[in-house]
Structure formats: C-alpha cells, structure tokens
C-alpha cells in the first residue's frame, strides 16, 4: 500500500514535470526568431463576431519562404478582425491583405533585438526550472508525509527520493537543451 502511494507520488511528479517542459517548449515557440512560424500567431485572440477566438480556429497557415507567413482565413468576413489582431499584437509586423489571404513579412532581427529575445528566452527557461523544482519540493513533502503517517520505510523513502531527483535533473537538462537550441536559433543570422 505504501509503495503504491509512493509510486503514485513519483508518477504524478513525473507527469507534472513533463507538462512543465512541454509548456516551456510552447513558450519558446511564441518567441520570434528571424524565421516565420505559425506558432507566432496561432494563439492570437481575434474578435470573431463578438467572441474572442484563437486565430488557429479561424485560419490556416503556410510558410512559402523563410521570412513570409501566409494566413488564409476560412471565413473571408473575418479578415478585418484578423488583421486588427495581428496589428495590435506584440509582433510589430504590419499585415498586408489582398482580399484572399493576409501576408506577414518578417524583417530580419537587429543584433540588439536578438540579444533582448535571448534574455526573454532565458527568463522563460528559468521560470520552467523553478516550476520543476517546485514540483520536486511538493512531491518530497508528500513522501515525507507518507513516511511519517503510513509507515513508509526510510529505505523506500530514500530510494524514491533518489528517483525523484533523477526525474528532476532530467527535466532540467531537457529545458537546458531547449534553451541552447532556441538561443542558437535566435543568434543565427
């Protein structure tokens, strides 16, 4: 019974840490590099007939070349709303509308802007690592409570704590790898 509870705590920690790593990956996708990518705009909220709707539900995306993103609305009546949402976003890009599709031309990033984006990405990575450590701490507290209340042996407690530490280190290393890749992508001219 105690081993099952301890295994449950471990599985829960593993699941939460994996979700945190995935969240960091999604956050990195929203940081603009020199290349066009649908992830930059797909979650923008568009006022679609009075309700705020993610752009990915209103349009399809294509990347015909490295610095061009084409947004093809499913409903041509929503083009003005989509254009307005893109213009008012933090991307700093002016959309061009030809009546059928909206084209977004991404200018090359300046060296200063690249360094700013690297700082932003590093902060997002650090936030992810803090979250992973918080999951570890709460799992350790649950293990301590199991040892105290239901008689989990100290050997089992130590063994599971070591497994928890391995999972934590693995998650942090994965975030570091994502960070290294994203920094390389940002600084690549």
CATH of the domain at 46: 3.30.1360.40
Q: Please state the pTM of the whole predicted model.
A: 0.72
Give the mean model confidence (pLDDT) for residues 93-107.
86
60 DSSP 8-state letter: E
Q: Are residues 115 and 179 in the same domain?
A: yes
pLDDT value of residue 138: 94
DSSP string covering 125-187, please?
A: HHHHHHHHHHHHHHHHHHHHHHHHHS---HHHHHHHHHHHHHHHHHHHHHHHHHHHHHHHHHH
**Whether residues 183 and 118 fall in one domain:** yes
Task: Find the mean pLDDT for residues 167-177.
Answer: 95
pLDDT at 132: 95
Q: Tell me how many domains the chain contains.
A: 2
100 and 72 co-located in one domain: yes
Specify the pLDDT at position 189: 59
The DSSP output letter for 110 is P
Clarify whether residues 173 and 119 are in a common domain: yes
pLDDT band at 42 (very low <50, low <70, confident <90, very high): confident
What CATH number should be reported for the domain holding residue 25? 1.10.132.20
Residue 14 and residue 66 in one domain = no
Query: For the chain, what's the residue count?
Result: 189
Range of the domain at 151: 2-30+110-187
């Amino acid at each position: 019974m105690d081993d099952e509870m301890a295994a449950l705590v471990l599985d829960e920690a593993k699941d939460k840490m994996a979700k945190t790593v995935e969240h960091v990956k999604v956050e990195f996708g929203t940081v603009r590099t020199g290349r066009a990518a649908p992830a930059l705009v797909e979650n923008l909220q568009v006022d679609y007939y009075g309700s705020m709707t993610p752009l990915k539900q209103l349009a399809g995306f294509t990347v015909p070349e490295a610095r061009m993103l084409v947004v093809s609305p499913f409903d041509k009546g929503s083009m003005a709303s989509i254009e307005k949402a893109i213009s008012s976003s933090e991307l700093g890009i002016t959309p061009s509308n030809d009546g059928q599709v909206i084209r977004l031309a991404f200018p090359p990033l300046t060296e200063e802007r690249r360094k700013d984006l690297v700082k932003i990405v590093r902060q997002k990575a650090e936030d992810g690592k803090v979250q992973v450590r918080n999951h570890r701490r709460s799992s350790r507290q649950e293990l301590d409570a199991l040892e105290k209340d239901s008689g989990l042996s100290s050997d089992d407690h130590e063994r599971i704590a070591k497994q928890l530490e391995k999972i934590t280190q693995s998650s942090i290393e994965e975030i570091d790898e994502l960070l290294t890749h994203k920094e390389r992508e940002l600084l690549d001219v």
